């Protein structure tokens, strides 16, 4: 337990070194200035100063290879970074310090205190060795350190998050011919990755978009590793690394004409051989404009039928039925009308057959295609969202209001700040009713 002692006109922290730090070469007592001549203020500052001293001691233990069991961190390297930060410095590896100015070397020496143990010099003069991580281990490590970012993702969403990143690391290994240490990835490595992709595109016809996703995923993972694990400014080896194909035609999902929906899908027997949950997800998609995942992954409780305006809640969800929606802007309430309301009443707890899976789209597209229920071979149910917006557009609904109903960023579209309140559910209900399709008796 620390106390205070006055030296001259200034109060100091005075603390005996706890037993757990006896392996460090320290005096039996530690004294730190509290930088005040007021005893009352000194007592106020004491707890913070004591915590800072103990944090430094924990870092020194970890640097020496003996971290305290209660201390979190990533070993000696992270501890060295933490200790340097506590002394008002940014940790730099010894090679970097040696190649820098004399002033930087002197800065580290001057930050040492008379009774500091050798471990302090390791931190202030760059002697801690960065942890070694191979490229093949990068995805697992990034997933570990970004657990909080991914906390809403379902197991299936985690799988879909991991797969393209695993593919990027495997492609990079193929490009350079080795499982390189992550810390050694530089611009030359990234250039070889790009060259490998150019050859692959020429041989197999893969798109530039696929290659650029590799580069983007590598850049993101490297940034996470350097900033969160090494705790240093992230180098940007993939800055400017891209492939542009001036002949590429940007793909676009074809809109599903609402006349086709009415004349083919809503006819008696058209959807009779489609399982009930798949049929009702399709009907809800038709009348809410929601993304397929937003409907498929609705957790129990997100379908609200007993409100004045029945609606669905589209938001991130934790717990047993956790799911992550596309972005914060997509958080919204959507009214249930017509076909969607009838489908929701048949499935008040959502769609357990498809929730948390990726099988819905393929199953329904296959059914529609085999039964001649798609306008062309290029059409898919992905065009339903576009069709719903076109129905809003046809009755003169402005872009901002359409965007808000669909979960798009109005601010991004305007390229400026958006003021005022969000659209209320009653207004969404009014607009949804105006474009509502007829509900045939067999689908009520």
Q: Rounded distance, CA 244 to CA 201, Å? A: 12
pLDDT, residue 70, reads 47
Q: What is the phi/psi pair of residue 323, to 5°?
A: -155, 145
Q: Which two tokens stand for residue 327?
A: 């972005």
Tens of pLDDT along the chain (444 residues) come to: 789 999 999 999 999 999 889 889 889 999 999 999 999 999 999 999 999 999 999 989 888 876 655 444 457 887 888 888 888 888 887 877 888 888 888 888 889 988 889 899 988 998 887 778 899 999 999 998 888 889 999 999 999 999 999 999 999 999 999 999 998 899 999 999 999 999 999 998 888 999 999 999 999 999 988 887 666 667 899 999 999 987 777 767 889 998 999 999 999 999 999 999 999 999 999 999 999 999 999 999 999 999 999 999 999 999 899 999 998 889 999 999 999 999 999 999 999 999 999 999 999 999 999 999 999 999 999 999 999 999 999 999 988 888 888 887 766 555 555 555 678 999 999 999 999 999 999 998
At CA 190, angle to CA 189 and CA 195, rounded to 5? 100
pTM of the model: 0.73
Q: Rounded distance, CA 122 to CA 127, Å? A: 4
Give the distance, in angstroms, between the CA of residue 371 and the centroid of all CA atoms in the same chain.
Answer: 40
Q: What is the phi/psi pair of residue 259, to 5°?
A: -65, -35
Contact (Cβ atoms closer than 8 angstroms) between residue 271 and residue 363: no
Any idea where the domains of the chain sit in the sequence? Answer: 3-124, 135-229, 258-443
Q: Rounded distance, CA 274 to CA 266, Å? A: 13
Cα-based distances in Å from 273 to 121, 314, 352, 376: 74, 29, 19, 21
Q: Rounded distance, CA 12 to CA 418, Å? A: 52
Q: Which two tokens stand for residue 330?
A: 């997509």
Q: Which two tokens stand for residue 377?
A: 């071979």
- 258-443 architecture in CATH? Orthogonal Bundle (1.10)
């Amino acid at each position: 337990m620390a106390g205070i002692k006055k030296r001259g006109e200034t109060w100091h922290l005075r603390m005996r070194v706890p037993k757990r730090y006896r392996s460090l070469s320290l005096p039996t007592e530690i004294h730190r200035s509290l930088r005040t001549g007021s005893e009352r203020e000194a007592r106020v500052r004491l707890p913070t100063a004591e915590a800072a001293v103990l944090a430094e001691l924990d870092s020194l233990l970890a640097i020496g290879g003996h971290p305290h069991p209660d201390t979190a961190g990533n070993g000696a390297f992270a501890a060295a970074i933490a200790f340097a930060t506590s002394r008002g410095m940014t940790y730099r590896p010894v090679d970097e310090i040696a190649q820098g100015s004399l002033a930087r070397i002197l800065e580290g020496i001057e930050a040492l205190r008379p009774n500091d143990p050798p471990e302090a010099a390791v931190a202030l003069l760059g002697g801690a060795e960065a942890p070694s991580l191979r490229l093949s281990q990068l995805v697992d490590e990034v997933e570990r350190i970004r657990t909080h970012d991914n906390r809403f993702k379902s197991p299936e969403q985690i799988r879909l998050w991991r797969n393209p990143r695993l593919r990027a690391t495997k492609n990079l290994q193929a490009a350079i011919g080795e499982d390189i240490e992550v810390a050694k990835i530089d611009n030359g490595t990234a250039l070889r990755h790009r060259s490998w992709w150019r050859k692959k595109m020429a041989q197999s016809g893969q798109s530039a978009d696929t290659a650029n996703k590799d580069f983007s995923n590598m850049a993101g993972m490297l940034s996470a590793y350097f900033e969160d694990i090494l705790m240093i400014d992230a180098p940007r080896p993939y800055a400017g690394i891209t492939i542009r194909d001036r002949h590429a035609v940007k793909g676009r999902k074809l809109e599903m004409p609402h006349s086709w929906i009415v004349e083919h899908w809503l006819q008696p027997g058209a959807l009779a051989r489609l399982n009930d949950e798949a049929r009702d997800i399709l009907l809800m998609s038709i009348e809410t404009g929601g993304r397929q995942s937003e409907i498929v992954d609705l957790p129990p409780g997100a379908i609200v039928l007993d409100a004045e305006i029945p609606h669905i809640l589209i938001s991130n969800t934790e717990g047993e039925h956790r799911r992550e929606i596309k972005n914060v802007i997509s958080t919204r309430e959507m009214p249930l009308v017509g076909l969607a309301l009838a489908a929701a009443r048949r499935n008040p707890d959502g769609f357990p057959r498809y929730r948390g899976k990726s099988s819905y789209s393929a199953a329904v597209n296959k059914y529609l295609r085999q039964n001649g229920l798609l306008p062309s071979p290029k059409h898919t149910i992905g065009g339903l969202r576009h069709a719903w917006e076109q129905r809003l557009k046809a009755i003169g609904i402005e872009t901002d209001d359409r965007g808000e109903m669909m979960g798009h960023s109005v601010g991004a579209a305007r390229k400026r700040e958006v003021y005022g309140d969000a659209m209320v559910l009653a207004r969404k209900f009014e607009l949804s009713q105006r474009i509502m399709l007829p509900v045939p008796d067999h689908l009520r």
